[in-house]
A and B are shown apart, each in its own frame.
Chain A
Amino acid sequence: MNGTTLERPDVAAYVDAVRSRLADLPAEERDDLVADVEASLLESGETPKLPPQEFAAELREAAGLDPAAPASVEGSPLDSLRAWVSSERVASWRATAGELAPIWWLARAYVAVVLLAVASNQGWPIGADQQYNEVSLEMSVFALLIAAGFSIWLGLRGRREARSHRRLAVAANAVLALALLPVAAFSLAQLDYGHLGSSAVYVEPVPGLVLDGAPIRNMYPYTRDGTPLFDVLLYDETGRPLDVLTGPDDMSRRILDTVNGTQLFNSFPIRYFEAGTTTVARPELAPPITVPKLVTPPLEVGLR
């Protein structure tokens, strides 16, 4: 059976444990030995019966290499570090990290895209820093998908092939890992700011009455048989007077007053005086409508 260590985490863990037992060898020697072992285990479809440390010892002996030096109690700090890196505990951590690597591949893709978007003055989501462009969630998601695909491809390639650019890969991953927390904090801040909550830019509220974003200039009530009504007072659901906000400065508007002299701005339809006069030339003027045929539902619907 063939495959990759991504599909066989048991093989990945075993190979990592063997690699840790060869930590004292030159990197090229170790990588070549482990690459042969990894490829063979993947093809055989099973892990060897020997524990990793015995497998590594047999491998060393057969390859004519010196046996692994026992961990020195009084060694230098570097020796202690090497021994710790070779320990089974670290091997187990590395195996677990190997299994979780795909999560990191996705995270680093996100970090890289955000860093690039911010560095290119696009902001995040893409377009957030552009004064005249709208935030493009679609573009942002597209960039993330491309980056995620590339990152996964790199990750799989790194597992499958000899680590030809290992140092470069380690450095790039380290930079992205360092940027992970700042980018996460930045993204959360953006979320609070509202960039991620909606694909629309912030729109200044239009004062007065609005229908589909356009201000309403007048309203014409009719009875059910199509007769226009005049000087109808309109209120919203909380009892607030509806006002189209033409304002008191609109001198040609015919404004109703209360007996106390208070002006009412919620009487509809609004009618206007002829220019320079105090006469409404066509007081019955109303937009032509088609009266619909109505079916009156009962005011109380009972269940039978």
Chain B
Amino acid sequence: MTQKSNRRDFVKRSAAATAGLFVFPSIVRPSALGLGGMLPPSDRVVIGSIGVGSQGMSNMRDFLRLKNGIAQFVAVCDVDSDRQKQAKEAVDAANRNKDCRMYGDFREFLEKEKLDAVSLALPDHWHGIIYTETINKKVAVYGEKPLSRTIEDAKVIRAAAMKNNTIWQTGSWQRSQSNFHRGAELAINGRVGKIKYIEVGLPDGGRGIGTPPVQEVPANVDWDMWLGPAPKVPFRGVLHWDWRWILDYSGGQLTDWTGHHVDIANWGAGMEHDTPIEVAGHGVYPAEGIYNVPVEYDFICKYANGIEMRVANSSRLKLGMGTTWYGDLGWVHTDRGNVLTASDPKILEEVIGENEIHLYKSENHYQNFLDCVKSGKETVAPLEPAYRAILVALLGEIAMTTGQTIKWDPEKEEIIDNPRASRLLSKPYRKPWELPTI
């Protein structure tokens, strides 16, 4: 998806969005008609949330915090009715009314709500279906990383977004932080010389919980819907947040954080459109307990341009968490907590000239998304880099599972000459769920 095609499409889309607002005026209360420093309804973005757990709520609050009430939330959806109510309260408080609609089934939500944008924050095993179905509704999407649980899911989501020219923002919010932006800009403009090697440190896996006994599903949770396309298993109390430590739903810290530091690594190396051609390494899995994602992992990705990227849990790396670009002249390292360091402090004082590469600048990840929904321009974290970032983690996962060096054909987008590894590119869905067609 190039910027050019986006711009071409922008007029079309904003016309459609405007039309949407005129056709469904009832979703905006007359009490909020552009008074008291609020934007007039026509300038707001009508938005809903699917998945209002910790991350979904956090995103919603960040949207609601934006000035002028640009984010007009009207509906929320979750398989946990307690979470629905909690989210509705937050929305109603912001809208000063009682109108926020609640849903337990995303299909009903997508069918009934007429929105400009949807914010999605769900367990990874649901991304393939819900991301694609949402995109197919021709709305803009704020989607949490990682893009998907499998590479096949990622391909389908991407194809749907390309077909619909979707305005997409990934929750890779580090792109809207100045230290990451600056670090990537120093790297991409050769301030460490020609980049040869990148190190990406992601969190170590944490403590396990053994295997808790089977227990009654809380009355507020639709467990079968929560499982969705994942294998049917009895409820053992692992639900919100902790799903991330079970392979049926997630790849652990590796797949979760790849959308942050691997994404930043690709941004600074100019590899936002690249996938490694060879991946090899190993993972360390807990021998006992229900948590079964790798708690340690360490693999090397080779790219066609000769760059090698090592992705490992942070305790294995000298510089720990974050992204480090190594060139023939030195290195630059960036991490959360506004960390930006370099082999030579002078590198950090370098000025990027007018004719050099200036990376997309966003001051606020949520504002940037809504601005782009209105303008039709590309966001700071569009879908393509999210696709490239998750492929790194998922190919790493396949390399660790098979114990083999995985070779990837970037043209055909498939694993070369390895039927076993190729089968790991997708996971069959439990009936009646199916990966949507585009």
Partners in one complex: no
**B residues neighboring A (CB under 8 Å):** none
